[in-house]
Structure 1
Amino acid sequence: MSEEPVAVVVGGAGGIGLAIAARLARDGHRIVVADLEGEATDNAAREIGGTGIAINVTESGSVGRAIGEVLDKHGRIDVLVNSAGVHLQKLVVDMTDLDWDRVQSVNSRGTFLTCRAVARSMMAAEGGRIVNIVTRLGFGNPYSAAYMASKNAVWGLTQTLAVELAGYGITVNAVAPGHVGPGTGMEKQFREKAAALGLSWEDFEARVLKTIPVGRWCRPDDVAAAVAYVVSPEASFVTGELINVTGGFTGYGVAPPREAG
């Protein structure tokens, strides 16, 4: 059994999740990268000196098995970070039932399943930290209804869990990244959004940066730093909170083009 605090980062094989896993590893946590089965998960774990475990957050059996394996190996889970998520760039009127269900299944159901699987062990240990990655960017954001609905569900779950678990010494918080920009996994989604809005990448980027008073894109390490704080001993009295890492984002003002006819 390891002496270091054990942190499970769900969706830790790339992007924001990998940045969080790497930061917590530097801070002295024993890291378990939990992501879809494959080379990316193993490579990410190897890169930061942790271990990888396959998980499909949409299936309760897979979640239970993965969390059980971590508990068998390490004896406890001190930190759970839910960073797995999918996005969809579609207007509501163009969205299928399957589109909607897929986003909800990964983002909201997946977070529920992992929180439920870990909560009892934290309750028994009378301590722990849960951090859910949500968003501040979806209010009035066209093409993002499914994503925004799922992340609002996660925020509601976070607030409720914070109250239910507070008496066990467990904190539950949410971190909302801003526009994580070029050079990350989010760039593809933003380029798709620009195309859907009929904007060049340069025009889209200029409009986005005008909404961020700090004047730059969010970096994965910015998000990781916020997570590192809320899982630290110094944050033991912080629970049920939404930590915005958005550079002061002021909101969208770009409407989708109207269809002819």
Structure 2
Amino acid sequence: MNTQRRAVVLGATGGIGSAVALELATDHELWLVGRDEDRLRDCAARIVGSHLWRLDLESDDVSLVPSELGEVDVLILAAGWWRPGRVTELSPADLRQSFAVNAIGPVQLLTALLPRFRAPYARVIALSSTAVHASPRERAAYVAAKVALESLLQAVHEEEGSRGTQITIVRPGRVSTAMHAAVRRAERADDRPPVLEPADFAAVVRTLIELPSAVHVPEVVVRPALVVDSLEGVRS
């Protein structure tokens, strides 16, 4: 009988999602979830035995779980969509897309998989952002959706915790991904703040899912370490 743990990674084609998938590949049967089938196949080519689940959070029925997916031990919610702009510049379509990808879709996937979570304690790791506690100026669509995600996940944890559902919200700071590069272009800043590599963030996820089942960590903030510059001292 196959006793290998099973992990579902939403956003598996992104920088963080793919790094987490690679981290978990050593001891998990992986289901890679994303919208772009070609990128999913590229990701799967690096992970022997992984399964593909093409899912568009904006248009597909998230409740239609593949029949061959068995019990789930780990769910990673790493999908993300970001677009800069003042509130007056955002269209209704922009807001709908942000909430669909950053909040509503991930929570719908979680609720669809709840009956498949393996007892006694399945782990859910959901990516939010340190931006939820910073100014939403010119990034309101993203920040508002992440705030909604956190509220919905907190409610699910309180409502379903007796089933053994452990949900951890992780707020990463700057991580070297395509999304971060887009953010930096929008900021038009000349400084070079320290960033985490996706593999570093994946190591944090590994630590969280390996915690004893009696331990619940509701939220975690992950930032790059301080950098020591011999001429300028310590900078963050």
TM-score (norm 1): 0.79
State the partner residue of 1:41.
40
Alignment of 1:198-237 (within 5 A): 199=189, 203-205=190-192, 209=193, 216-234=194-212, 236-237=214-215
Which structure shows the bigger proportion of residues in helix conformation?
Answer: 1
Q: Could you say if the C-alpha distance between residues 235 and 125 of structure 1 is closer, same or farther in structure 2, counting changes exceeding 3 Å? A: closer
CA distance in 2, matches of 1:93, 1:177: 27
Deviations 1:38-64 (A, max 9, x none): 211011022122222111123462x22
| CA RMSD in angstroms, aligned pairs only | 2.1
Q: What is the CA distance between 1:147 and its match in structure 2?
A: 0.4
Deviations 1:67-118 (A, max 9, x none): x21xx32421111111011001111121111111110111111111111111
Match for 1:132 among 121, 126, 129?
126
1:193 corresponds to 2:197 = no
Which structure shows the bigger proportion of residues in strand conformation?
Answer: 2
TM-score (norm 2): 0.86
Q: Could you say if the C-alpha distance between residues 94 and 84 of structure 1 is closer, same or farther in structure 2, counting changes exceeding 3 Å? A: same
State the partner residue of 2:146.
151
Q: Could you say if the C-alpha distance between residues 91 and 248 of structure 1 is closer, same or farther in structure 2, counting changes exceeding 3 Å? A: farther
State the partner residue of 2:223.
246
State the partner residue of 1:168.
163
Deviations 1:139-161 (A, max 9, x none): 11432111001111111122222
Contact 2:86 2:138 in 1 (8 A): yes
Alignment of 1:35-184 (within 5 A): 35-49=34-48, 50-59=50-59, 61=61, 63-65=62-64, 68-69=65-66, 72-122=67-117, 125-138=119-132, 139-181=134-176, 184=177
Q: How many residues of Structure 1 are paired with residues of Structure 2 in the alignment? A: 224
Contact 2:107 2:153 in 1 (8 A): no
Q: Could you say if the C-alpha distance between residues 74 and 92 of structure 1 is closer, same or farther in structure 2, counting changes exceeding 3 Å? A: closer
Q: What is the CA distance between 1:137 and its match in structure 2?
A: 2.5
Q: Could you say if the C-alpha distance between residues 187 and 128 of structure 1 is closer, same or farther in structure 2, counting changes exceeding 3 Å? A: closer
Structure 2: 5+ residue stretches without partners: 227-236
Contact 2:8 2:31 in 1 (8 A): yes
Q: What is the CA distance between 1:235 and its match in structure 2?
A: 5.4
Contact 2:174 2:180 in 1 (8 A): no
Structure 1: 5+ residue stretches without partners: 210-215, 250-261
- Corresponding letter in the other structure for 1:81: I
- The list of structure 1 runs, each at least 4 consecutive aligned residues, that deviate by more than 4 angstroms after superposition, is none
Q: Could you say if the C-alpha distance between residues 74 and 106 of structure 1 is closer, same or farther in structure 2, counting changes exceeding 3 Å? A: closer
Deviations 1:17-47 (A, max 9, x none): 0001111113x01111111142110110221
CA distance in 2, matches of 1:175, 1:25: 20
CA distance in 2, matches of 1:21, 1:226: 13
